[in-house]
A and B are shown apart, each in its own frame.
Chain A
Amino acid sequence: MDHFPTNWGNPRSEDVDSYNTYPISSHIGKVPHSVTQIAGYGHTTGHPTSHTLQPVVTGTSVLGIKFKGGVMMAADNLASYGSLARFRDVERLHQVADFTVLGASGDISDYQYVKHLIDSQMIKEYNADDGHTLATPNIYEYLWRVMYNRRSKMNPLWNTFVLGGVHQGKSFLGAIDLKGTPYQAPSIATGFGSHLAQPILRKELETRGGEDNITEEQAVEILKKSMKVLWYRDARSMNKFQLAKITAEGVTISEPMSVETEWAFAEKIRGYGA
């Protein structure tokens, strides 16, 4: 018995990637090539449908905090390829409705797919022309179902999303991760930010006595301070970020900005090879 699969012969050569040794999809030979080429039937090469088992091009933390009259969000413009700072002008805050902003950390292609899904849904609702539109809680519920159903298929979208908005006079800030876990809170930080920025955001909320005692200007300062801390310590971050403001007046997403940093102290650090 020859145990080397590539020597077993190919039933249909166009179905086989000759550089791939194993596995060969089980339906090769049983299903004609013309059928495997129909969209949705796995891959045309005859390989099994692949699932995202790890993120590839990624975005780091997204921050969000409620203030009196609205929500402020922040995310930098970097899309990393592992440790490589691959794309430096990616917008990770996206306006999905009149009073709703979606922020994404994790896999960028999965984010772009979800952005496409939600935008398509918004167009569908607009075309119905029935006087209704999806508000922030509706979009949040939709996003949760998408994420939960994908995790249930064991094929997750590798992201943590933050959704900020204003609905019926109240501000809304919620997050959903790749396992479909939804939660709402007065401040949210994803990824590295959950360790570095969330304690800062929570302390600001606590010492000022809650979101109603934070002004728009103060929210900007708090987020800038948090983004600075992330830039100092998160090696996958970048000192070029955008802020999104959502109030009853609508959405404003800023131009990319940066914060003043001070690196002189680095001279004095000893013990890490220096």
Chain B
Amino acid sequence: MFSTYPGQAVIDHPVSAPIEHRFDPYVDNGGTLLSIAGNDFCVVAADTRQSEGYSINSRYVPKSVKLSDKTVISMGGCYADCLTLTKRIQQSMEWYHHAHGKVMSTAAVAQMLSIMLYQKRFFPFYSWCILGGLDEEGKGAVYTYDPVGSYERETCRCAGSASSLIQPFLDNQINFKNQESRQRTLTKDEVLRITKDSFTSATERDIYTGDYLEIFVITNTGVEVQKIDLKKD
């Protein structure tokens, strides 16, 4: 977690453990998200469980939102911050549409999101963002962020509570790390299979991941959504 926001300060008590005197505005609502870019498609997937501590608030609270026919955003972390940030993006995209008479490109949304996150550098949105979509050439694009806006374009990324379980698997199966001789580009069906396997496996070990898996497949014909069952325990 953070140690930089105002309010984290704890005061040492001479006789017992430190007592927190200030309100902690953040909560980790868990959940896992993932995005993989292909040659002419992009897959964005996330589970739909919302947790608070050991309790499940709801089994279906979507983490991904379609922003346009070419762009999907997915966020995990503090759900209140994530939803606020999503609404800000949607608002700005609408203003952009009215001002310029065209829909924002994936690259433009990507840079805007970085700026929006950095604007709150000293009281950050606790949100792990992954932006998936198609670039101007129709190629799959994945942009990943940290909570203060550092971002990078990649081919594949997993974030959220089970990221440490899934990311090494993706490094091996998507980017072919440590098996360079097998390097090739994957088809959409292969990517979907790896995505589903990643989440069913993560659900076994991560208590914050489960209930449903919602997958957004972005191609030049638009965005297709599928909902798949995960274990509910």
Contacts and interface: CB of A to CB of B under 8 A. Distances in A.
A103 interface: no
A181 B79 contact: yes
A63 B50 CA distance: 18
Interface stretch (A73-81, A105-113, A149-157, A223-231): A149-157
Interface string B7-34: 1000000000000011101110100000
Contacts, number: 53
B22 A151 contact: no
A183 B6 CA distance: 26
Interface stretch (B38-46, B54-62, B165-173, B220-228): B54-62
Interface string A154-170: 11100000000000000
Q: Which of A151, A155, A181, A194 has the most CB of B within 10 A?
A: A181
Given A148-B80, A154-B6, A179 B22 contact: no
A185 B56 CA distance: 10
A184 B55 contact: no
Interface string A225-240: 0000000000000000
A183 B80 contact: no
B21 A179 contact: no
A195 interface: yes
Contact of B29 (A144, A181, A185, A195): A181
A198 B59 CA distance: 13
A182 B26 contact: no
B27 A179 contact: yes
B152 interface: no
A181 B27 contact: yes
Contacts of A51: 23
A195 B55 contact: yes
A53 B23 contact: yes
B161 to A, nearest CB: 16
A46 interface: no
A135 B57 CA distance: 23
A185 B27 contact: no
A181 B57 contact: yes
A151 B81 CA distance: 11
Contacts of A181: 27, 29, 50, 52, 57, 78-80
Contacts of B79: 181-183
A180 interface: yes
A151 B25 contact: yes
A53 B50 CA distance: 26
Given A148-B80, A148-B84, A175-B57, A183 B22 contact: no
B55 A194 contact: yes
Interface residues of B, number: 23
A183 B27 contact: no
B173 to A, nearest CB: 33
B231 to A, nearest CB: 14
Interface string B58-102: 111100000000000000001110011000000000000000000
Contacts of A183: 50, 57-58, 61, 79
Contacts of B7: 154
A154 B22 contact: yes
B26 A185 contact: no
Nearest to B25: A151
A177 B83 CA distance: 14
Q: Which of A51, A144, A151 has the most CB of B within 10 A?
A: A151
Given A181-B29, A182-B79, A156 B57 contact: no
Contact of B23 (A156, A182, A195): A156
Contacts of B23: 51, 53, 151, 154-156
Contacts of B57: 175, 181, 183, 185
Given A53-B23, A181-B27, A185-B57, 17 more contacts: A51-B23, A151-B25, A152-B25, A154-B7, A154-B22, A154-B23, A154-B25, A175-B57, A179-B25, A181-B78, A182-B79, A182-B83, A183-B50, A183-B58, A185-B59, A185-B60, A195-B55
Interface of B: 6-7, 21-23, 25-27, 29, 50, 52, 55, 57-61, 78-80, 83-84, 123
29 contacts: A53-B22, A53-B23, A148-B80, A151-B25, A151-B80, A152-B25, A154-B7, A154-B22, A154-B23, A155-B23, A179-B25, A179-B26, A179-B80, A180-B80, A181-B27, A181-B29, A181-B50, A181-B57, A181-B79, A181-B80, A182-B79, A182-B80, A182-B83, A183-B50, A183-B57, A183-B58, A183-B79, A184-B61, A195-B55
